[in-house]
Amino acid sequence: MNDFETVKEETLYSVKRYYIEPGKTGQWIDLVWYYLILADRDIPNYRTVWSNLVGGRFPDRYRRELLEYMHGAHERYKQALFARDIIGKLVMKYPDNDVLFIINLHMYYFITVVKALADNLALILNYFYDIGLESSPDKIDITKEPFRARLRDKSTIFDKVCQGPEYEAYKTELTEFRDVVVHRHALHIVRVLDRNGQTKIMVPRDPSRGIELRTEQGRLGTKYAVSRDRKSIAKYGVMTTVISPDPTKNYEEPMEFCSRHLRFIANSYTAVLAEMARASGDQSKN
């Protein structure tokens, strides 16, 4: 084995340049085109609305802003998909410290970009429905009542975006996760050893959950503890392994977390862009 092959084997993660085109056999496409296809598949009205914006089939008043925010949303959604896919590949590896380190990196980015996607959507809604909060940008947020109240008065799209279980999960969970990773302490993504002796990397259900310091009584009456070593903590920082008979009580799989919040984003954009596509179609008839 030569030096290059040795280095390649020791590479934990590298970015592929080419992928098989979704739905086709043996047809290779590049990274950007691959994720563009996936994004358009998840948000089927994007291409129609984008083409109508570029073609001038929207009123000129906010067309420039809508072009910017539509472009930003598409780029961020592709990045969110990419981050999710990287996490999905990494969770299949043995969960050593290096794997945990890289999953943390991509989870932090995923959380940040999904929050940005929802903010992007609020800006699109603000301009498209002429909500009128441009002078108060801090209020343009699908979780804030001034924006929600005006959107409710402007359109029935409120029912499809700003209520329901997926919205509530985003409102109460994702925004808190983003606040933790951007403004507060670290998000404690940890290794969890379950009753079957399997170790996996999991995300805390409560993002404010701190460093585990004690032995606790499990739901089934079995004690679970946290594996820690003071010398290792002093040298490397906190490398925590939670030993729990029922880890799903306090933790969940990273891919479950990612899929839930991406589904909310995709469904919300699909609903909004369907309305925009209809409106631009009506505009082109006038």
What residues have CB less than 8 Å from 75, skipping those under 6 apart? Answer: none
Percent of the chain exceeding pLDDT 70 equals: 83
Q: Is 227 helix (H, G, I), strand (E, B) or coil?
A: strand
| CA angle at 98 for the pair 96 and 101, rounded to the nearest 5° | 110
Instruction: Give the total residue count for the chain.
Output: 286
Q: Is 218 helix (H, G, I), strand (E, B) or coil?
A: coil
Q: β-strands 190-193, 28-30: how paired?
A: unpaired
Band (179; pLDDT cuts 50, 70, 90): confident
pLDDT of residue 168: 92
The span from the CA of 29 to the CA of 39, in Å, is 15
pLDDT digits (tens, 9 = 90+) for 98-132: 888 899 999 999 999 999 999 999 999 999 999 98
Burial (Cβ within 10 Å: 0-12, 13-18, ≥19) of residue 286: exposed
pLDDT of residue 232: 60
Q: Kindly calculate the radius of gyration of the chain based on its CA atoms and give it in whole angstroms.
A: 22
Band (57; pLDDT cuts 50, 70, 90): confident
**The two structure tokens encoding residue 154:** 């402007």
pLDDT of residue 221: 41
